[in-house]
Structure 1
């Protein structure tokens, strides 16, 4: 499949909102192996060659023209893993120059021997809010199993996770829904750490059985109070982002977690492979139109401000 840039959606919106999941990268200066020669196998949107270009605040300003968020949270962009603090230093300098992003979620490999030093290095930056790490997971639902090395069950990985609270850091989790039973145990064992589930739990299988399994997994995770969800990453390979596909999933997510634990997130520029920024924001706004004005404001702004500690 070859992705082409989706046509922009005509959408006017001037309410304040926060984008809790854009990425910035500069391929001319910094190392991102997945964008500079390596290929991610089975990338969920198929061909991602269109992402092999710089994406900086000026590019984001172009994509959000007329819809600009009041604050943004940069999520680590898979900078080469040698020294992940280098990415935080670069993004912090970017923010000083351009006013974006407001806050940073960096990377740490939680089962690495130097995790304490890496977390301390990140913590030296005032914009730092948390860590994203992609633990070992199962690629397919039918292969899901517990106890893999590097997974959320791994005691060495959990020792790294236990250090987040000491630094006042939250944790961004990207994992398929069939591994969220591990996440439920994790947050129960570490109640002082806020976990933020990325990309709506990755409900890629929209068959009735796939959605039923996703709902069960999300409901189990939602029983734990220290979990929030970013409504993002809902594109499907080979087809444009539509409200018909995604509004029901967004509403299910909010119904499961509540209007005080979900937030808007664009996943730009990655989701530019499936939709314009306006399309994604318009779909979210349509989905939350059934809620009260105060709940809509929370979903668009206040929840992300609280969870990522984005003081005015």
Structure 2
């Protein structure tokens, strides 16, 4: 990419549709010294670039805390967010290792009780247990060391059964070859709301680099399977995730137009298949800031949906997330 292109792409943008209310259903906060730190004040500064009224914290384990400590810290951040102007953290997604089977229920109850005792009744919404895995050494597998078919393991599903009993949601995170395992999970547990993260993980790196047509074919097949399960919602984001971005096409620090042009066809297709009432845009910050800033990501989403009705935009930018996590129709 030329120096001119870099300069142009990094020029500040003006937020589009600044009065459109947003619930950002997927962000992290990292209490870690050094380059990876991303705390509440920085998140609030980012979200002030658009009208982000609510957000949901999602586990990330970067603070080097155990799952209970991370959830407890997230509840503190939620309380702090309510004391100042701007975005309020209204939901927390923790981590629990469902491979523990039925015994994981005790951990889920402890997380809920921490929220209740701290005045955050209903704040704990569910868990995420990532299953990103690929045989290629060039593709990073999830930090929890999943097997190739984690979501199909019997012990995992015994643990998964504990969620519906507690009215908790589940965030699924897989790469596109494993989308059928999400559909299978949704079939066995139709009473659990499952939220598929990051557009279903269409990969553009490793053995998938340069094979966008084949990736699209397999990704669309898996996405159709998942979309047929009405208890599954889709998070549209991860568009700055390095393994999903074709760096030969998307420049570093792209403009919102460049980002929208690259992702438009996939995003519009996914919305058509799932419907606006089961799709929600997400920032995936700070992970996605490796490609662009917060303002640019949301401008890209707004560009892609420029021709949508007000009702459809309300679904995509706030209401579908409230339906998935809060059970609000």
The CA deviation string for residues 165-203 of structure 1, in whole angstroms up to 9 with x for no partner, is 111100001101110111111110100101100000111
For the pair 1:181 / 2:186, whether they are aligned, the reply is: no
Q: Name whichever of 233-242 and 52-61 sits farther off.
A: 233-242
Quote how far apart the aligned CAs of 1:253 are. Answer: 1.0
For the pair 1:86 / 2:86, whether they are aligned, the reply is: no
Q: Name whichever of 82-91 and 233-242 sits farther off.
A: 233-242
Structure in which a larger fraction of residues adopt helix:
2
For the pair 1:215 / 2:232, whether they are aligned, the reply is: no
| Alpha-carbon distance between aligned partners in 1 of 2:80 and 2:238, rounded to the nearest angstrom | 28
Q: TM-score, normalised by structure 2?
A: 0.79
Q: Could you say what secondary structure the match of 1:193 adopts?
A: coil
Q: Could you say what secondary structure the match of 1:290 adopts?
A: coil
Q: TM-score, normalised by structure 1?
A: 0.83
Partner residue of 2:104 out of 115, 119, 128: 115
For the pair 1:243 / 2:260, whether they are aligned, the reply is: yes
C-alpha spacing 1:139/1:289, structure 2 compared with 1 (3 Å) = farther
Q: Is the 8 A contact 2:29 2:39 kept in 1?
A: yes
C-alpha spacing 1:213/1:288, structure 2 compared with 1 (3 Å) = same
Quote how far apart the aligned CAs of 1:60 are. Answer: 1.1
Q: Is the 8 A contact 2:175 2:200 kept in 1?
A: yes
Quote how far apart the aligned CAs of 1:80 are. Answer: 6.7
Aligned twin of 1:172: 171
Q: Could you say what secondary structure the match of 1:152 adopts?
A: helix
Q: Could you say what secondary structure the match of 1:54 adopts?
A: coil
Alignment map for 1:249-288 (pairs within 5 Å): 249-288=266-305
Give the total of aligned pairs. Answer: 282
C-alpha spacing 1:90/1:184, structure 2 compared with 1 (3 Å) = same
| Alpha-carbon distance between aligned partners in 2 of 1:19 and 1:80, rounded to the nearest angstrom | 21
Aligned twin of 2:143: none
| Alpha-carbon distance between aligned partners in 1 of 2:73 and 2:52, rounded to the nearest angstrom | 22
Q: Is the 8 A contact 2:133 2:148 kept in 1?
A: no
Quote how far apart the aligned CAs of 1:148 are. Answer: 4.6
Higher relative contact order (CA 8 A, sep 6+): 1
Q: Name whichever of 83-92 and 61-70 sits farther off.
A: 61-70
Q: Could you say what secondary structure the match of 1:284 adopts?
A: helix
Quote how far apart the aligned CAs of 1:66 are. Answer: 3.2
- Unpaired runs of 5+ residues, structure 1, are 29-35, 37-51
C-alpha spacing 1:149/1:163, structure 2 compared with 1 (3 Å) = farther
Quote how far apart the aligned CAs of 1:95 are. Answer: 1.3
- Over aligned residue pairs, what C-alpha RMSD do you find? 2.5
C-alpha spacing 1:267/1:243, structure 2 compared with 1 (3 Å) = same
Q: Could you say what secondary structure the match of 1:61 adopts?
A: helix
| Alpha-carbon distance between aligned partners in 2 of 1:224 and 1:78, rounded to the nearest angstrom | 30
